[in-house]
Structure 1
Amino acid sequence: MIGVAPGLLHPDLPCRRPELAVLCRDILDALDLGGGAFDLRVVGDGEMAALNRAHLGLPGPTNVLSFPAEDPQRPDYLGEMAVSLDTVAREAFLYGQPPRAHLVRLLAHGFLHLAGFDHGPVMEALTEQAVDALALTDARLS
């Protein structure tokens, strides 16, 4: 399930469930995680700051939070993720990246955490592999 916070609007980023669903499925396919179920909540900085404090005890918003599933009854369920479009837009500007490409990068990063990957060279390479794979079909990523 994909949920989007009410009133969330960023002109350079997908903010509607159907477009986000296609984007997530394309990312999962690029990461060879296709078929995995997940829950995604797309939020603004205010809600992300609350999630960050509640789950990690950290102040302020972050870009993405991932909560891997631990349900042996649902082996196809990857887990839950939250992404702040406010932070994505801000970071894309700061890093000089197309906003959509940065969103793909963060979603791929989050999905890899859900699949059990930790930070490091393998995760970084797989994340960039997903960004590159989607860039081949989406001119808005470059």
Structure 2
Amino acid sequence: MSGVVRIVSKVRLNPRFPLSQRELEVLSDLLLESLGLEGRTFSLTLVDDREIALVNAEFLGCTGPTNILSFPDSGDADVELVVADDDGSSLGELVLSVDTLARETELYGQQPLEHLARLLAHGILHLAGFDHSDEMFDLTDGAVDRILLEYGDMDGGE
């Protein structure tokens, strides 16, 4: 493992959360590779809906929980949830609600691994400077397809 992601869990993981911390590190490495971001790193903070709603309100002025928030490492807008890398390889930080992840897998009819990969790829692309566009959605779909091929029939424990 190349240490591409620093994971901070501020919540007891939902049993439906598809991967262990080690597997989440491997997933993150594969996503960065599939998105052409090898050599880059990011921090991932796992929280519940209550915590992400607080972060959403404090930093973005939005009300309520959301699935994932992206805070690019711009040097001037540090959310200070975790310590950033000093070597300049950090893309920034993602904050993911494991409660929303579990709820949305039901809502969208996706396997937990697929939806997790989609949220992480989407968030990583925001960290890399992408805005919502056809290109971003195509890159996200390609990365998710790669993850599903790599993991085969893994279904997140269902």
Taking structure 2 as the reference length, the TM-score comes to 0.83
State the match for 2:8 in structure 1: 3
Deviation, structure 1 residue 140: 2.4
Match of 2:139, SS? helix
Deviation, structure 1 residue 74: 4.0
Unaligned runs of 5+ residues in structure 2 are 1-5, 76-85
Preserved contact between residue 16 and residue 102 of structure 2 (Cα < 8 Å): no
Q: Give the counterpart of 2:89 among 69, 76, 98.
A: 76
Deviation, structure 1 residue 59: 1.1
Q: Distance in 2 between matches of 1:6 and 1:91?
A: 18
Preserved contact between residue 17 and residue 98 of structure 2 (Cα < 8 Å): no
Unaligned runs of 5+ residues in structure 1 are none
Which portions of structure 1, spanning 4 or more consecutive aligned residues, are displaced by more than 3 angstroms? none
Structure 1: which amino acid aligns with 2:36? Answer: D
Preserved contact between residue 52 and residue 97 of structure 2 (Cα < 8 Å): yes
Given the alignment of the two structures, is residue 18 of structure 1 paired with residue 32 of structure 2, yes or no?
no
Match of 1:140, SS? coil
Percent identity over the alignment? 46
1:36-115 matches, within 5 Å, as: 36-71=40-75, 74-115=87-128
Deviations 1:72-112 (A, max 9, x none): x7432100110111101111111111111001000000000
Return the structure number with greater helix share.
1
Equivalent pairs counted in the alignment come to 141
Preserved contact between residue 89 and residue 99 of structure 1 (Cα < 8 Å): yes
Match of 1:33, SS? coil
Preserved contact between residue 50 and residue 65 of structure 2 (Cα < 8 Å): yes
Q: Distance in 1 between matches of 2:150 and 2:110?
A: 17
Q: Distance in 2 between matches of 1:136 and 1:8?
A: 25
Deviations 1:13-60 (A, max 9, x none): 22x321211111111111111210111101111111111111111111
